[in-house]
C-alpha cells in the first residue's frame, strides 16, 4: 500500500495555488513558504486526532501574512479579533483554542511570512477571524448565498485526518479518511485516506488511495 503524508498534500497545494482560475482579476494571495505550509498542514493533521475534555476538535485555520485579510472579489477585510500576545502554532495551541472558535462561523488566524519574503520567522496564531456562518453552510450544500470568503489559504478540518484546503472560495484539494484511530499516547496513529482534487464531475472523486502512518506525539 502506498504511503502519503501531509507533505504530499502541501506539494498538491503548491502546484495548484497559481494555476487554478480565479473568479476575479486579483492575483493569487500570498502563500506560506513550502516549509511553513508543511508545518501548518502537519500541525492541523495531528490536531485533528486530539480530544479536548472528551470532545473531538473541529476547526478552521486561515493563514495570511498579517491580521488584515481581504475578502475574495470584494472590498474590505474580514473582521478579526487580534491577540495581544502571539502564540506559536502547535497542536497544544490549537487544542486550547479550537473549542472556543466555532468552525461554522470563525477561523483561527495563523500569521506566517509569505513564500517570497525570505523570512525565517515561524508561524504564529494571531487572532480569531469572523468568517460568517453562511460560508460554512454553503460548503456543506445547505445555503446558496454566502459572504465572500477570506482571500487566503484556508484549511477546514472536519474530522480526524480529514482536511479540506481552499484558496479563498476555491477548493484546491484535501485528504479524506477511510478509517482513523489512535492506539495510545505511545502507540501508532494510523489513518487510511484518499487524497483528491476537485474536478468537473465530482469534487470528492478520489485520485489515489494513500495511507498516513505516524508516531503519536
Mean pLDDT of the chain: 76
At residue 201 the predicted structure's pLDDT band, cuts being 50, 70 and 90, is: very low
pLDDT, residue 24, reads: 59
pLDDT at 213 over 60: no
pLDDT, residue 177, reads: 67
* Model pTM score: 0.76
Looking only at the bridges linking them, the beta strands covering 55-56 and 59-64 are unpaired
Please give the average per-residue pLDDT across 103-113, as a whole number: 91
At residue 63 the predicted structure's pLDDT band, cuts being 50, 70 and 90, is: very high
> How many whole angstroms separate alpha carbon 97 and alpha carbon 122?
19
> How many whole angstroms separate alpha carbon 143 and alpha carbon 37?
30
pLDDT, residue 72, reads: 82
Residue whose C-alpha cell is 493563514: 63
Amino acid at each position: 500500500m502506498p504511503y502519503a503524508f501531509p507533505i504530499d498534500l502541501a506539494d498538491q497545494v503548491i502546484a495548484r495555488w497559481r494555476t487554478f482560475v480565479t473568479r476575479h482579476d486579483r492575483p493569487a494571495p500570498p502563500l506560506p513558504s513550502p516549509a511553513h505550509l508543511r508545518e501548518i498542514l502537519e500541525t492541523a493533521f495531528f490536531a485533528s486526532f486530539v480530544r479536548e475534555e472528551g470532545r473531538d476538535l473541529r476547526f478552521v485555520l486561515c493563514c495570511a501574512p498579517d491580521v488584515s485579510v481581504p475578502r475574495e472579489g470584494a472590498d474590505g477585510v474580514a473582521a478579526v479579533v487580534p491577540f495581544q500576545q502571539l502564540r506559536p502554532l502547535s497542536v497544544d495551541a490549537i487544542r486550547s483554542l479550537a473549542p472556543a472558535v466555532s468552525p461554522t462561523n470563525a477561523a483561527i488566524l495563523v500569521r506566517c511570512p509569505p513564500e517570497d519574503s525570505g523570512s525565517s520567522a515561524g508561524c504564529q496564531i494571531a487572532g480569531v477571524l469572523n468568517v460568517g456562518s453562511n460560508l460554512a453552510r454553503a460548503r456543506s450544500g445547505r445555503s446558496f448565498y454566502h459572504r465572500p470568503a477570506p482571500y487566503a489559504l484556508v484549511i477546514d478540518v472536519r474530522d480526524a485526518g480529514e482536511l479540506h484546503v481552499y484558496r479563498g472560495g476555491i477548493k484546491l484539494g484535501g485528504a479524506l479518511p477511510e478509517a482513523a484511530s489512535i492506539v495510545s499516547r505511545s502507540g501508532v496513529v494510523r489513518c487510511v485516506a484518499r487524497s483528491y482534487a476537485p474536478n468537473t464531475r465530482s469534487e470528492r472523486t478520489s485520485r489515489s488511495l494513500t495511507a498516513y502512518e505516524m508516531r503519536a506525539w
